[in-house]
Amino acid sequence: MASVRAAGKVEVYSLSKEAFDHLALRKEVAWSRRWDEEDTRDVAQLTVIKTMGAGAFGTAWLVVHQQTGRGYALKALDKFTVKRQNWTAVVVREKEILASLSPHPCVITMHNSFQSPTQLFMLMELATGGELFSLLEKFERFEPAAAKFYAGCVVLAIGHLHKHGIVFRDLKPENLLLMDTGYLKLIDMGFAKRIGRGEKTYTLCGTPYYLAPEMILHRGHGLALDWWTVGVLTFEMIEGDPPFGGTSEMEVYGKVTRMQYSCGPRFPDVAADFIGQLLKREPENRLGNLHYGSEDVQAHPWFYNFSWDQLMEGTLPAPYIPPLQASCMPEKTSTSLKKVLDLSDVMKNPTDFGYWPTW
């Protein structure tokens, strides 16, 4: 592709195609180019179908791209509310992390972002099956085979983030959405943070039932934190309750630091061992934080005869196919996005608006 002339001594290294593909370099380049050419940049092509839900900072809309007919979820955040609640840095960081990630079958994709003088917008991949939390509430617990499938989706998602040097820090059933195929998508990068391998950060964040010992004890945490949460989630999916329960946060933290949990008769021995390898008190001994990272997790005996390639390709049958959610069904009438949202003055230069210098 290019000619290079060396000024001095040269050492030449080779990289096999297998290693190159493993690093997903081709996908990164392809995503970068696609981001530049994304057809959703034209706001006039987006039509609001209906409201999907509302949160503390804004509203989620079901929108359709007129030219392609594809559906998306549009998160609209009110700037004044975000600033008043001191969540500016969190929102900006979430947007930057999502923008840097290439598409992955188990991580939600952000297709575009833009802003008006009063709102911030993130155009997200549409997941129509609802939260894993709701499914777990409906069935109370999953059979080990179903839990294995969902755990596999989460392992791929966490491994994808870790390859980008991102620790997620907020894994829980509420942050996993079901696609219409029954596959899981990891969402909500509000607590996610870039961190180098071996580095530590000290912010206390996440959900009490899922906090790892090193976070509770303020020893600093790194990428190993996410593998602890995978263990907690896997336990909860099979048992129906998290491994460390209690009537107060302090009681939960005490059980975590004392490693006070047990796997009951519902757990196959190999699944109990998988959870035990993840729920290690010391991060350096934790599965996923060893020499081969997420590959060690995938190689655990619980996943014998489990096709990771089929999971990545989306051809592995899911244990449950969700019905189409009412919130994602089009209404009889639709409205132009500009009429519903204040997009008449979408900003061409994001740095023009004071406290959003990196949006």
Which amino acid is present at 272?
A
Average of per-residue pLDDT across 35-44: 69
Give the CA distances from residue 39 to residues 70, 83, 108, 324, in Å, rounded to whole numbers and listed in that order: 11, 30, 18, 26
Q: Are 256 and 213 in contact (CB under 8 A)?
A: yes
pLDDT reading at 277 higher than 50 = yes
Work out the percent of the chain whose per-residue pLDDT is above 90: 58
- Give the Cβ contact number of residue 80 at 10 Å: 10
Same domain, 140 and 102: no
Taking CA atoms, 177 is separated from 67, 104, 292, in Å, by 27, 14, 28
Q: What is the pLDDT of residues 130-183, one digit of tens each?
A: 999 999 999 999 999 999 999 999 999 999 999 999 999 999 999 999 999 999
pLDDT top residue among 103 and 39: 103
Do 208 and 79 fall within a single domain?
Answer: no
Q: pLDDT at position 22, please?
A: 62
- Let me know whether 226 and 341 are in one domain: no
Domain residues for the domain of 151 are 132-313
Read off the pLDDT band of 354 (50, 70, 90): very low
Please indicate, yes or no, whether residues 119 and 233 belong to a single structural domain of this protein.
no
In a domain, 320, yes or no: no
Cβ atoms of 161 and 107 within 8 Å: the answer is yes
Q: Let me know whether 112 and 143 are in one domain.
A: no
Angle, vertex CA 137, rays to CA 132 and CA 140, nearest 5: 110
Question: Distance (Å, rounded) from C-alpha 340 to C-alpha 342?
Answer: 7
Residues 342 and 234 both lie in one domain: no
Report the half-sphere exposure of 346 (CA within 13 A, side-chain side).
15
Contact 337, 43 (CB under 8 A): yes
Q: Please report whether residue 1 resides in a domain.
A: no
Q: In this structure, are 308 and 292 located in the same domain?
A: yes
**Is residue 144 domain-shared with residue 254, that is, in the same domain?**
yes
Domain count, the chain: 2
Tell me how far apart the alpha carbons of residues 279 and 341 are, in angstroms, rounded to a whole number.
46
CB atoms < 10 A from the CB of 242, how many? Answer: 20
Task: Measure Cα distances from 149 to 109, 174, 305 in Å.
Answer: 21, 17, 12
Identify whether residues 97 and 222 lie together within a single domain. Answer: no
Is 26 part of any domain? no
Which pLDDT value is given to residue 343? 56
Helix (H) or strand (E) holding 9: none
Residues 62 and 111 in one domain: yes
Provide the CATH number for the domain around residue 83. 3.30.200.20
> Is there a domain that residue 16 lies in?
no
Q: What is the pLDDT of residue 171?
A: 97
Q: State whether 150 and 264 are in the same domain.
A: yes
Facing residues of 104 across strands? 107
Rounded percentage of the chain residues whose pLDDT exceeds 70? 84
User: Does any domain span residue 359?
Assistant: no
Q: What's the pTM value of the predicted model, to 2 decimals?
A: 0.84
Mean pLDDT of 273-288: 97
**Per the domain annotation, does 12 fall within a domain?**
no
CATH of residue 155's domain is: 1.10.510.10
Type and span of the H or E element at 111: strand 110-115
Mean pLDDT of 84-107: 90
Does residue 119 carry a pLDDT above 50? yes
Active site residues: 170
Are 122 and 137 in a shared domain?
no
Of 6-10, 19-23, 248-252, which has the strongest mean pLDDT? 248-252
For residue 330, the one-letter residue type is P
Q: Does 100 fall in a domain? A: yes
Give the single-character DSSP code of 70: -
Query: Which of 36-40, 41-45, 109-113, 218-222 is predicted most confidently?
Result: 218-222
pLDDT (0 to 100) of residue 338? 59
For residue 17, tell me if it sits in a domain. no
Condensed to tens digits (0 to 9), the pLDDT of residues 23-35 reads: 654 455 555 555 5
Exposed/middle/buried for residue 178 (C-beta within 10 Å: 0-12, 13-18, 19+): buried
> 147 to each of 173, 208, 212, 243, 276, how far by Cα in Å?
12, 22, 21, 15, 16
